[in-house]
Amino acid sequence: MPQEIMFWEALVRAQDEEMTNDPLVFCMGEDIGVVGGTYKATTGLYDKYGPERVMDTPISENGYTGLGIGASYLGCRPIIEIMSVNFAWLAMDQIFNTAAKAHYMSGGQLKAPVVIRSPGGTAHQLGAQHSARMEKVFMGVAGLRVVTPSNPKQVYGMLKSAVRCDDPVFIYEHELMYNMKGAVPEDEFFHPLEGSEVTRRGKDVTLFAYNISVHWCLQAAEILASQYQIDAEIVDLYTLSPLDRKGIIESVSKTHRALIIEEAEPAVGVGAEVMAIINEECFYELDAAPVRVSAVNVPIPYNHSLEKAAIPNANDVVKAVLKMFGR
């Protein structure tokens, strides 16, 4: 029977199971030990496994990320938490040049089975320097897998799969989702690190989304169905690198219309890449031009009203669909 647990509880369970399974799995990051993590994602692990396997680190993202990647070269399987994706800028050299390129540049002699997980997105008045949406940066790096779960079941299964994967995996978690509840099977399972998921089946238009925007689309789809008799399909792009080209093509070929919804700014983003795939593969299937629903291209304001105005929501999705249908 599935259990209703929170997103952060699913993270704790996955890490606990993998650390029990393999003594070479360890966690490291700022405040993950005694405190249990800023978002509770390592609660109880320090008491169970001790400071050698749940390591509180200094405020030095470049340093401890490099340390974890080096350990992965020697056969360990580190789970590195970067407290906020905004701080990942400081570890870019280690992630992009050291982890992502090691296997290729060594002719397959080196592996970097490291998991880097980090919360991001716009939460509640955290200001421009703590509200980054950096998924577009990570998904553009060859050799790095990028996944972004939209519910507790996904994050549980993805983290377990990522720990056992021989490639470096970046797990992008949304800050507003840690207290979200969802059903997670009691039995152990592993979620694929490639592909996408049809969250809602429909025939009139496809809404492509990931993490928090999946939930905006679910709200929008109910409004579109009940008030406007428009049947929307929702595709959860839980893997951003590699994108599920086949799944994108299949859905657009069925509905013949596509919207891509992302919380980030539109330039050089997930929406742009999905639109490129649609235009390359499905151009003659389209009944209307693909549309992006994205954030305003400004640093996220601290002011609450301005913050809300800068990012999209379910109503923006509804408006974009109606405009596509000329209504």
Active site residue 61: yes
Give, for 18, the enclosing helix (H) or strand (E). helix 7-21
3-state percent breakdown (helix, strand, coil) of the chain, nearest 5: 40, 20, 40
Other CB atoms within 10 A of residue 58 CB: 8
CA distance 154 to 199: 12
Catalytic residue among 18, 61, 197, 262: 61
Other CB atoms within 10 A of residue 267 CB: 10
Strand-pairing partners, residue 260, are 208, 292
CA distance 88 to 116: 10
Retrieve residue 167's tokens.
Answer: 């490639």
Catalytic residue among 9, 18, 81, 130: 130
Burial 196-224 (b: 16+ CB within 10 A, else e): bbebbebebbbbbbbbbbbbbbbebbebb
**CB-count burial class (<10 Å; 0-12, 13-18, 19+) for 34:** exposed
Active site residue 130: yes
Q: Which amino acid is at 6?
A: M
Beta strand 239-241 with 145-147 is antiparallel
Residues designated catalytic: 61, 130
